[in-house]
Amino acid sequence: MLEKGRIGTRQLSTLIFMMVVGDMMLIYPSVITSYAKQDAWICALVGVPLGMLLMLMFIKLCSLYPGKNLVQISRSILGFWPGNLVTVFYLFFFLIGASAHTREVGDFITSQIFQYTPIRVIILMFVITLGWGVYHGLETMGRSSELLMPILIVFILVLAFCLLPQVDPSNLKPIMMDTGVVPILQGILVSIIYPVGELVPIMMIIPYTLKQAHQTRDVLISAALGNLLLAVLVTISMLVLGAFLTQHNIYASFILSQKINIGGFFERIEAIMASSWLISTYVKAMVYLYAFIVGCAELFKLKQYRMLILPASLLLFGLANLVSPNLTFIVITVVPYWVDWDTTLSIILPGLLLLVHMFKKGWKNKPSG
């Protein structure tokens, strides 16, 4: 197999949790509020159990072909050429996803913190760390996520508790009145697709996970907890900023951290919030890059994948500079269509693979004559 390392269920669960939170921790409140307006917090909560069902579909697909990653599953179900065509779609998605996450880091850092630093310098530093993480293999990635996840959780809990004095329940009114059915359904779709639908690269990692007790349960719980944490962020943002300001501040969570002021002593902790977001986005982008590199090695039947890390990192650096000219382009042009892309690759195509598998199994079991 391409990957010699193995991770345990706990490390897989932490990777899933970090990916669910990922870049969504900063932009999720704004994105979902732009669809569901006043009822965004309801959509976010409804998306938690529905996201678990989507995660269950990913696990089911992998369990039907134990020891095989997404590339091998596509070939087994669809055949060599159709399977490779689906693989190319997924590899392109993994590469563009890693590029978009890297660009998000560059745009955020240069617009909010280091405003006079060239964005290419930030992107280059981020890509180097991504390549370094992938080079050390899956075990190192899993252990790193175990070390970093408690820091992330503590930062978010501090943010939530310190904002409690500024909560205004009237910001949630009116409930289910002015939004309409279609925007609410769109908000629910976003609450499923963005946090959990973007876990498709995990299907490149599950075959290299040690089989342990309660693996499915732990994976589902980690995905649900990550999605629930995002729902809490949305609710806090609505309670403190209101629907209008949450929708029109792309970095709503960062704005929230700037509002913390306890006794004139504990304040200006937005750098801590930025650090926690960078940690989760780094893990998510690293898994996307790993899935792209391992998928390419599997597609071309290479014996090892590390030779692809340098060219893939250089490609990632170039695409991160080209995928978007600025933050406004991402918000206006990319975000409205990204949900359709995620829906296609995280619901439609995996569902199609499951249906074809069931059809082939039923056809084989059909009595002849």
The pLDDT tens digits along the chain (369 residues) read: 677 778 888 999 999 999 999 888 888 888 888 888 888 888 999 999 999 999 999 999 988 888 888 999 999 998 889 999 999 999 999 999 999 999 989 988 888 888 888 999 999 999 999 999 999 988 999 999 999 888 888 888 888 888 888 888 887 777 766 667 888 888 899 899 989 988 999 999 988 888 877 888 999 999 999 999 999 999 888 888 888 888 888 888 888 887 777 776 666 677 777 888 888 999 999 999 999 999 999 999 888 899 999 999 999 999 999 888 877 777 778 777 888 888 999 999 999 999 998 888 777 776 654
Structure tokens at 101: 């996450």
Cβ atoms within 10 Å of 115's Cβ, excluding its own: 8
154 and 22 Cβ atoms separated by less than 8 Å: no
pTM for the model stands at 0.93
Q: In 3D, which of 244, 241, 242 has the Cα closest to residue 257?
A: 241
**How far, in Å, CA of 315 to CA of 339, rounded?**
24
244 and 34 Cβ atoms separated by less than 8 Å: no
140 and 4 Cβ atoms separated by less than 8 Å: no
Q: What share of the chain is helix, strand, coil (3-state, %, to 5)?
A: 80, 0, 20
